A and B are shown apart, each in its own frame.
Chain A
Amino acid sequence: MRTKSLSLLVVLLVLSLSVSVFAAPFDAETFVYVGGAGGPQTLDPAAAYDTASGEVIHQVYDNLFEYVDGELDNMGPMLATEVPTVANGLMSEDGRTIRVPIRQGVKFHSGHTLTAEDVRYSFLRGMLADPAGGPIWMFFEPLLGVQTMRNVIEMAGGSGDFAAIDEVDPAILRKAYDLVAASIEVDGNDIVFHLVEPYPPFINILAKGGSWSAIVCKDWMAANGDWDGNPDTWAKWYDLALEDMTLYDQANGTGPFKLDTWDKSGAQVLFSRFDEYWQGPASLKSVVIKNIPELATRQLMLRVGDADAIYVGQEDLPQVRTMPDVTVIDGLPQVTNTVLFYSFTIPVEGNEDLVGSGKLDGKGIPSDFFADVNVRKAFNYSFDYEAFLTEVALGAGVTPVGPIPQSLPYVNTEQEYFKHDPARATEYFKKAFDGELWEKGFEVGIVYNTGNNTRKTALEILEYNVESINPKFKVNVIGLEWATVLDKLRSASLPVFVMGWLMDFPDTHNFAVPFMHSTGTFAGYCGQGLIDLAKVEFDALVEAGIKATDPAEREKIYFELQKRYVDLAVGMPFMEATTHRVMRDWVKGFTYSPAYSAQYDYYTISKEEK
């Protein structure tokens, strides 16, 4: 017995000794961030359009401009030496010609020196590659007045409806190249952008936070098998699969950190400090961004100190608030809006689980149910915005006053907006369908994507409040897998759905188009009824809003758009959420900008043991 106890003691002793030998000591120069919402899809700035990819690109590349102290209304130069304005003569009076002087002596990680040609190449390559599902539309719109490279090929006289680009006549391809190339020129050390129309947020599109505007090195790209600038060969790199693009999993920027490796099987990205960074080397020597889906595992890593910061969803924040030596920074503003959309023309056939009988007979809804403004207004007055904000979102945000977030300019904060008002909801329900709706009742399925409990609860609030108004009203909250939601969105089959929009660039236009224009992202999911309405009510104003350079004129236009959106109750914006960060309290120098998709800007961060 004694021998057994003795050997147990020895084993424990060896174990604890070896643990202390191999346990990692506090490392002030390495930062580990553990995310949970998925890793990057690609590291190519021309293709990346998700936040996890943007997070990596942010650390490795620089842009022409950056937001000073992260403030959206304070733009400063980065790889440019000045921010173009009409006052400094770098922007023409009509706002269509923009000259950008490029900083000299900046080094890429590869050792190459930045030139104006690299900057021009970065944008040309992005536009000519134009990967489907990517962010490059942001350049096409201001520079050529179109949305895609297919549209440019149409401008060049070809057909945009090709299956493979080698079907297009080489002469047309060359013409298309010339059109793109003419929009950006090199003049000495400067870059000159020629815009098709004035586009006030163009500088914002080029600023840090926009991964699509990251500056790459032309010579290094060509040496690594990418397009070399030859006007006749660009089509070879057009719309490649993500994994076939040169920068898919490698990077060479001028940013403060070099990409060491994207360890895909380990779901982590490793960076090391770039000592020749033009603004001086970062404090951290290495950075690791990992992805671990299990919250409990992430929390334990934070507690033990293996993680310096972790991702925690809003609903799980109470779990980490009480953790010792952990800092929670919340209430960080975002430019975002969560909106409940209505489909104006809902297909009935094959959609019985959501529309029931497809008729106004108390057992379903007709295809044009939400085309009646009274129904939409009644729903909007049925939702309890206050209860949602305080009880469900735990106060992390504000109630909107329209589709444009209040942190952007040209939002009328005095605009009368919906609030929970059962009496007015009743009034509108009674008016709908000339009283027939009130008499017969209805049954409708409203959908959230499974896993998003906040949205589920929002819909349940709506369900409860609408059903309380009239016992003949029946609302069913239905959870569908994201794949099915996407499928049903494509055919505008969801009578009601909830979706958020996080800005691409901080300008009112970036919300006006998706929410109100007939060709915007959401119009297509809301049925032909809304498209027709948008053409009449919104399109002209949205198009005028982006062309206007006078702030007073822009304000007038966007105030009017906001008023029309609310008057017509096109949708129900119900949340402008704030965000938060969770980190160990030894993390110093945290900075934040609503313009950054990256959770952290590691350049400013350092670690100090208490």
Chain B
Amino acid sequence: MITYIARRLLFLPIVLIGVTLLVFVAMSFLSPYQLVSAYIKSPEELKNQSLDDLVRKYGLDQPIHVRYVSWMKNLLKGDLGYSVSANMPVAEAVTKRFPATIELALFASVPVVLGGIWLGTISAKHYNRPLDHVTRTFAIIGWSLPDFVFGLILLMIFYGVLGWFPPGRLSMWADTVVLTGNFTRYTGLNTVDSLLNGRPDIFWDSVRHLIAPVITLSYLWWAYLLRITRSSMLEVMNKDYVRTARAKGLTEKVVVNRHVRRNAMIPVATVSGSMILGLLGGVVIVETVFDYKGLGLLTATGAQQLDYTLILGTTLFYGMLLVLINLVVDVLYAVIDPRVRLE
């Protein structure tokens, strides 16, 4: 297994060079004056400036290969460049925004996965009966709803009317404490840091801000897991050993929980892994609606503004994340399922 992991890790730099080359090739189709729009972001900002001076200052007129080599050299020194759209170095932008994304992903993955499996189980258990139809319809509505619509509905009800779950990551008073008060940042995760700082009020405030985006993500993604769980369980339910289990007089609960669900879980685990990976990559629309400043919003803004250093930096980061998480999932397979051998 160690050889397998080492081999996969050796591929990592090749994958990363590949993706950055692709981004650079894509960027080479843009003229220096298109790239300068990162500095003059709208027609209103076009004043008495010389575009040529800006192009020269930021080296946008350099040939693409020169820029790639210079970017690579800096990368080897640990410098990912400066992001104009985030107003900070790319590495700092990613490390500041990623904890927000991890926090949302952590809080969302539990209800997404457990809820999806639970709904899928109900559906399979009541195959083609009213409860199956109701569960599936409920989940399909969620799947079909555009995320900004459902997010806005939640925000209107739970923030606009009830005042329970506000947008953002923290309320203004908590933000002020975190930014200017005596508050140490350990992980960047508000829930964890607030507990480590002994501030249960800030912990609860950050949880309040997580609830609505988590509900949105859960409802939107349940249908997907439901379908996988349901079909996988239905397949297992027809297996001989399940019939045997029933024949020997086990209760339906034991049959479903111990014999069916456990064996139906492998495809569900695969899908859940990719869902969590998706969550870690950031969820642009949900982040936008709830003003939740995570990695997704950062990347989308950077892409919109042709902030090529940020695009390169986040591409590199996503590439690394993808390779590493896939590796972890493969290793986990081998651990969970004795039939899988990594060679």
In the complex, the answer to whether B43 meets A514 with C-beta atoms within 8 Å is: no
A283 at the interface (CB under 8 A from B): no
B240 at the interface (CB under 8 A from A): no
In the complex, the answer to whether A18 meets B176 with C-beta atoms within 8 Å is: no
In the complex, the answer to whether B43 meets A482 with C-beta atoms within 8 Å is: yes
B20 at the interface (CB under 8 A from A): no
A133-B54, A297-B291, A486-B34 known; A500+B47 contact, CB < 8 A: no
Q: Is the interface of A mostly helix, strand, loop or mixed?
A: mixed
In the complex, the answer to whether B49 meets A38 with C-beta atoms within 8 Å is: no
B93 at the interface (CB under 8 A from A): yes
A73 at the interface (CB under 8 A from B): no
* Those of A234-272 within 8 Å (CB) of chain B: 239, 241, 243, 249, 260-268, 270
A24-B173, A482-B42, A504-B47 known; A264+B58 contact, CB < 8 A: no
In the complex, the answer to whether A502 meets B49 with C-beta atoms within 8 Å is: no
B246 at the interface (CB under 8 A from A): no
In the complex, the answer to whether B172 meets A296 with C-beta atoms within 8 Å is: no
In the complex, the answer to whether A22 meets B160 with C-beta atoms within 8 Å is: no
Contacts of B88 in A (CB 8 A): 243, 264-265
A19 at the interface (CB under 8 A from B): yes
Which partner residue on chain A sits nearest B93 by CB separation?
Answer: A265
In the complex, the answer to whether A132 meets B173 with C-beta atoms within 8 Å is: no
In the complex, the answer to whether B167 meets A487 with C-beta atoms within 8 Å is: no
In the complex, the answer to whether A300 meets B56 with C-beta atoms within 8 Å is: no
Q: How far is it, in angstroms, between the C-alpha of A300 and the C-alpha of B165 when the chains are bound?
A: 12
Q: 1/0 per residue B29-46: CB within 8 Å of A?
A: 011011111011111111
A15-B164, A132-B49, A521-B48 known; A270+B179 contact, CB < 8 A: yes
In the complex, the answer to whether A22 meets B33 with C-beta atoms within 8 Å is: no
Which partner residue on chain B sits nearest A49 by CB separation?
Answer: B47
B302 at the interface (CB under 8 A from A): no
A137 at the interface (CB under 8 A from B): yes
Contacts of B172 in A (CB 8 A): 24, 30, 32, 288, 306
User: How distant is B76 from chain A, measured CB to nearest CB, in Å?
Assistant: 21
Q: How far is it, in angstroms, between the C-alpha of A288 and the C-alpha of B170 when the chains are bound?
A: 14
Pick the residue among B82, B169, B288 that contacts A241 (CB under 8 A): B82
Contacts of B43 in A (CB 8 A): 449, 452, 482, 485, 499-500
Q: 1/0 per residue A284-317: CB within 8 Å of B?
A: 0010100011101100110110100000000000
Which partner residue on chain A sits nearest B49 by CB separation?
Answer: A133
What size tier do the contact residues of chain B reach? 35 or more
B306 at the interface (CB under 8 A from A): yes
Interface window among B136-144, B201-209, B226-234, B257-265: B201-209
Contacts of A18 in B (CB 8 A): 204
A200 at the interface (CB under 8 A from B): no
A304-B160, A499-B46 known; A163+B291 contact, CB < 8 A: no
Report the interface size for chain A: residues with CB under 8 A from the other chain. 69
Q: How far is it, in angstroms, between the C-alpha of A485 and the C-alpha of B49 when the chains are bound?
A: 16
Q: 1/0 per residue B282-310: CB within 8 Å of A?
A: 00000011110100000000000010000
Contacts of B30 in A (CB 8 A): 483
A39 at the interface (CB under 8 A from B): yes
Q: How far is it, in angstroms, between the C-alpha of A148 and the C-alpha of B164 when the chains are bound?
A: 54
Interface window among B10-18, B151-159, B266-274, B313-321: B151-159
In the complex, the answer to whether A304 meets B159 with C-beta atoms within 8 Å is: yes
Q: 1/0 per residue B160-190: CB within 8 Å of A?
A: 1011101111011101100110000000000
Q: How far is it, in angstroms, between the C-alpha of A422 and the C-alpha of B160 when the chains are bound?
A: 50
* Those of B99-126 within 8 Å (CB) of chain A: none
Q: 1/0 per residue B197-221: CB within 8 Å of A?
A: 0000100110010000000000000
Contacts of A485 in B (CB 8 A): 43
Contacts of A134 in B (CB 8 A): 49
B86 at the interface (CB under 8 A from A): yes
A133, A134, A487: residue with the most chain B Cβ atoms closer than 10 Å:
A133
Q: How far is it, in angstroms, between the C-alpha of A501 and the C-alpha of B215 when the chains are bound?
A: 45
Contacts of B156 in A (CB 8 A): 296, 300
Contacts of A110 in B (CB 8 A): none
In the complex, the answer to whether A22 meets B293 with C-beta atoms within 8 Å is: no
A132-B49, A135-B47, A265-B93 known; A270+B176 contact, CB < 8 A: yes
In the complex, the answer to whether B86 meets A133 with C-beta atoms within 8 Å is: no
In the complex, the answer to whether A300 meets B159 with C-beta atoms within 8 Å is: yes
Q: How far is it, in angstroms, between the C-alpha of A449 and the C-alpha of B50 when the chains are bound?
A: 20
Q: How far is it, in angstroms, between the C-alpha of A490 and the C-alpha of B34 when the chains are bound?
A: 10
A606 at the interface (CB under 8 A from B): no
User: How distant is B203 from chain A, measured CB to nearest CB, in Å?
Assistant: 11
* Those of A492-530 within 8 Å (CB) of chain B: 499-500, 502, 504, 513-514, 520-521
Q: How far is it, in angstroms, between the C-alpha of A293 and the C-alpha of B301 when the chains are bound?
A: 10
Q: How far is it, in angstroms, between the C-alpha of A243 and the C-alpha of B156 when the chains are bound?
A: 38
A233 at the interface (CB under 8 A from B): no
A15-B164, A482-B42, A487-B34 known; A296+B289 contact, CB < 8 A: yes
Contacts of A50 in B (CB 8 A): 41, 44-45
B91 at the interface (CB under 8 A from A): no
Q: How far is it, in angstroms, between the C-alpha of A94 and the C-alpha of B47 when the chains are bound?
A: 30
B57 at the interface (CB under 8 A from A): yes
In the complex, the answer to whether A502 meets B155 with C-beta atoms within 8 Å is: no
Q: How far is it, in angstroms, between the C-alpha of A297 and the C-alpha of B65 when the chains are bound?
A: 43
Contacts of B176 in A (CB 8 A): 270, 286
Which partner residue on chain A sits nearest B31 by CB separation?
Answer: A487
User: How distant is B191 from chain A, measured CB to nearest CB, in Å?
Assistant: 15
Contacts of B31 in A (CB 8 A): 487
Contacts of A482 in B (CB 8 A): 37, 41-43
B9 at the interface (CB under 8 A from A): no
In the complex, the answer to whether A41 meets B289 with C-beta atoms within 8 Å is: no
Pick the residue among B41, B47, B152, B204 that contacts A38 (CB under 8 A): B41
In the complex, the answer to whether B37 meets A260 with C-beta atoms within 8 Å is: no
Contacts of A265 in B (CB 8 A): 86, 88, 93, 96-97, 293
In the complex, the answer to whether B51 meets A490 with C-beta atoms within 8 Å is: yes
Pick the residue among A40, A249, A260, A297 that contacts B290 (CB under 8 A): A297
A113 at the interface (CB under 8 A from B): no
The 8 closest A-B pairs by CB, nearest first: A483-B37, A132-B53, A487-B33, A483-B34, A265-B96, A133-B49, A490-B33, A132-B57
25 example contacts (A-B, Cβ-Cβ < 8 A) are as follows: A22-B208, A41-B41, A41-B87, A132-B56, A133-B40, A133-B50, A133-B54, A243-B82, A260-B179, A260-B180, A265-B88, A266-B169, A266-B175, A266-B293, A292-B167, A294-B291, A296-B289, A300-B156, A300-B160, A483-B34, A484-B34, A485-B43, A486-B33, A499-B46, A514-B48
Q: Which residues of B contact A (CB under 8 A)?
A: 30-31, 33-37, 39-51, 53-54, 56-58, 82, 84, 86-89, 93, 96-97, 152, 155-156, 159-160, 162-164, 166-169, 171-173, 175-176, 179-180, 201, 204-205, 208, 288-291, 293, 306
Q: Which residues of A contact B (CB under 8 A)?
A: 15-16, 18-19, 22-24, 30, 32, 37-41, 49-51, 132-135, 137, 148, 163, 239, 241, 243, 249, 260-268, 270, 286, 288, 292-294, 296-297, 300-301, 303-304, 306, 449, 452, 482-487, 489-491, 499-500, 502, 504, 513-514, 520-521
